[in-house]
Amino acid sequence: MHPRNSDYSILLAMTIAFSVMLGSLLIAGCDGGTKTSQQRPAPEVAVVTIQPQEVVLTTELPGRTAAFRVAEIRPQANGLIEKRMFTEGSDVTAGQTLYRIDAAPFQAVLDNAQAALNRSEANLNTIRLRAERVKELLVDKAVSQQDYDDAAAALKQTEADIQYWKAMMNSARINLGYCRVNAPISGRIGRSTVTEGAIVTAYQPMPLATIQQLDPMYVDVPQSTTDLLRLRNLLKSGKLDQNGPSQKKVGLLLADGTTYPWKGTLQFRDVTVEQTTGTVALRIVFPNPENILLPGMFVRAVVKEGVDKQAILVPQQAVSRDPKGNPLALVVDSQNKVEQRQLEIDRAIGNQWLVISGLAPGDRVIVEGTLKVRPGATVKAVSMEESAGTNPAAEKNSKQPTGPAK
């Protein structure tokens, strides 16, 4: 054989051997990759197990404060204001004199009635004696019947005059008392609309001043008829209980978001629906010892709806939304497979959602790891507490001392 042909045969044999070896390695690598993918562990997710719990349901309703009692001060007599006897913006007590009206005309009327009464009383004795003498003479036929009738009529006229002037004196005395305009209630008085020297008339439309009692204070809030009907349905179905001892206690949030330090009491719910807004009015009474609340302030009342003894709560981070905005949650079933549930949510309570439907007691809801799984996938479910315990960052944060909130 030619030497050149021998070298070519050897090179061909080496190439075939290398190709066979490379194919074997590729086949082995593919088999190993398949086995590795089949042996990959299921993803681990943190879950919470749904347990019913008792929850007090509240709702925040916007409202406005109103004074407990309001008195508009108006004069009951015509006259000239002689003096204003209070300081604007101060606290006044019931019966305190606020204005003094010129009393001279009313005193003159009283004196005139007194003089007329004295005159009638002075003539009464003489007229009575004359009537008695005429009556005696009538028996002896010494006077006519007409003389007796005239004497008796004069006596009755004098007695009637006495009653009339007594009534006039009482009326004049009342009008004289109206010259001092007194406070009908205790409270804080506002600005005066008149000054000394002003002419006022009895029962005039414009008040002289206004007194408002600020402790306690009313808070009037509207509640929609939709919420009212929903509450009635929940109470009728037994899902809510309104028999708690503090059911009528109401909290209050001020305009700046701070919590009012005193609790109020729900006084009544109106029975008439406002036609323009479709709401009914709730009236709540709040103590106001420090005069924090002023009439006309906007506030938010935290009204208790009732107690749900079988409430289902789920962390907000466990709930996602589909493109239409419907709430969804991922649940691990008994076979450790992921199942998607559509929820119906009522409201947020703290950092949790109150779920009306879609979840049941005992369901394991995925809280952490939702991005790693899809419905139908097999997972390893770990409770939220165990997941937090194995998390180094969470363990480190749990060991750090906690100080007061700043």
Interior/surface letters 83-115, b for 16+ CB within 10 angstroms, e for the rest = ebebeeeeebeeeeebbbbbbebbeebbeebbe
Write down the pLDDT at residue 246. Answer: 58
Q: What is the DSSP letter of 403?
A: -
3-state DSSP assignment of residue 176: helix
Longest dimension (CA), the chain: 201
- Per-domain boundaries in the chain: 53-66+213-396, 75-102+179-206, 103-177
Whether the link from the prior residue into 216 is cis, omega within 30° of 0, is yes
Query: What's the token pair of residue 12?
Result: 């061909």
Asked if 193 and 207 touch (Cβ cutoff 8 Å), the reply is: yes
Q: The pTM is what?
A: 0.65
Write down the pLDDT at residue 189. Answer: 94
Overall CATH class of domain 75-102+179-206: mainly beta
Write down the pLDDT at residue 397. Answer: 41
Asked if 247 and 306 touch (Cβ cutoff 8 Å), the reply is: yes
Q: What is the DSSP letter of 337?
A: B
- The separation between CA 189 and the C-alpha centre of its own chain, rounded to angstroms, equals 26
Render each residue's pLDDT in the chain as its tens digit; 406 residues: 444 455 555 555 666 655 656 555 555 555 544 444 455 788 888 899 989 888 887 788 889 999 999 999 999 999 999 999 999 999 999 999 999 999 999 999 999 999 999 998 888 888 888 888 888 787 777 778 888 788 889 889 888 989 999 999 999 999 999 999 999 999 999 999 999 999 999 999 999 999 999 999 999 988 888 777 777 776 666 655 556 555 678 889 998 889 999 998 888 777 788 888 888 888 889 999 998 999 999 999 888 777 788 888 899 888 989 888 899 989 998 888 889 998 988 888 888 888 888 888 888 998 988 888 888 888 888 887 766 555 444 444 434 443 433 3
Write down the pLDDT at residue 371. Answer: 84
Q: How far apart are CA 302 and CA 5, in angstroms?
A: 102
C-beta neighbour count of 282 within 10 angstroms = 21
Asked if 343 and 305 touch (Cβ cutoff 8 Å), the reply is: no
Q: How far apart are CA 127 and CA 147, in angstroms?
A: 13
Write down the pLDDT at residue 403. Answer: 40
Write down the pLDDT at residue 25. Answer: 52
Q: How far apart are CA 31 and CA 93, in angstroms?
A: 98
- β-pairing, 338-342 with 327-332? antiparallel
Among 357, 359, 354, smallest CA distance to 59 is for 354
Write down the pLDDT at residue 39. Answer: 56
C-beta neighbour count of 351 within 10 angstroms = 9
Q: What's the topology of domain 103-177?
A: Helix Hairpins (1.10.287)
Q: What is the DSSP letter of 258?
A: P
Q: What is the DSSP letter of 317?
A: G
Write down the pLDDT at residue 404. Answer: 39
Asked if 287 and 43 touch (Cβ cutoff 8 Å), the reply is: no
Domain 53-66+213-396 = CATH 2.40.30.170: yes
